[in-house]
Structure 1
Amino acid sequence: MKIIIMNRRKLQVFLILMVLMAILFGVGEMLKGQLKSVSFMQNNIKALKTFEALDGSISYKLPSEWTTDIKSFPGNQIIYHNDFTSKDLLINGFVQVWDEQEDLKEFLDISKKVSEGQNKIKNYKITNIKVDNKEGYLVKYNMNSRDIDYTAYEYFIKYKKGFIRFSFFTKSKDFKEYMKALYDSIVKTVEVKEA
């Protein structure tokens, strides 16, 4: 009889732990969407403007008070390019769509070797990410340009015809850790409509 009582207690404790884990998971899922808006509020961003590339097959949002400049490049590799600068001029960068069928990881490895050969980057780190159910990579590094140190966060998201690139550059002396949450939130606004 004693063995049965101990097993019941273990079962009760186990069930209580499972219920608590389910509750924590549910609360975490509810908070996920709200964290995005918190990072925008923390950075005093009141509204987002939607941009579309490739006849609306790719869309993303940037803070409406940021300045943007859509450019075109010769050739067929970069098929969309939009430069942006934050209102306070601390964040610069661009969004690009590349028509590149080469393996993305291989492309990034080659880019890293070229940059390292020119002694332009240090503290290079690449991690896997997933955005809009698409696989990709986050590349973080520091670079020096014209005797100014920059902290760079670049997001590369694979899609059927190539990849989407979000690049954010901030002077290292002005970089704050909360900026990564802002970058993540902006990148998560991307939507790809593939037929």
Structure 2
Amino acid sequence: MERSSRDRLSVDLRGLKAPLLARAQAQRLTPSAFIRGMLAAQLGPPQDAASHPTSTSPTRVRASRVRLSLRMGAAEARRIHEGARRSGVSVGDYLSGLAAGVPVFTDGGTRQAHVGALMASTAELATLSRHLHRLATLLASGNVEAARPYRAMLASLNADVRRHLALASTVLADLQPRRGTAQPADVWAR
């Protein structure tokens, strides 16, 4: 197994987590940066300091996102990574979407496929709009013969617009959390 370039150690804080988090937050540091600072003050610099680059500015707390560590079997982790890759989102966004019950993830679809279908339908609607503008121009100028080829388009206009609206509402609904579930912060507004 390949060794990580980062040194890690898990510690059972036995009730010290809350005061640790409060102190780190008060100093506007991540818990890891706070603990590294405390350890460095107690232990001094590492013997091979050149192999452990340090930052001159402490790591700041990012309030909008937090790290979540999960323990699971390798097969489950592969499925989650594959689902996130297939959906075109980060693992965190994928898991929060699953937890929120976003249908595009819970039903096995992909965000890109839904958005792609909506974009294609919107492009067709834009073409339809150009044809309608051309037809209106021809009719306004009294050129009825040149306007006749647009007759078939007018016959299917209602069905085409309704089909686009149905697709758009389905895609938008499938990209939102189901009612009654917790919504992940700003993930689906992108």
State if a TM-score over 0.5 links the two structures.
no
TM range (shorter): under 0.3
TM-score by length of 1: 0.23
Considering fraction of residues, name the structure with more helix: 2
TM-score of the superposed pair, with normalisation by structure 2: 0.24
More strand by share: 1
Task: Give the number of the structure whose alpha-carbon radius of gyration is greater.
Answer: 2
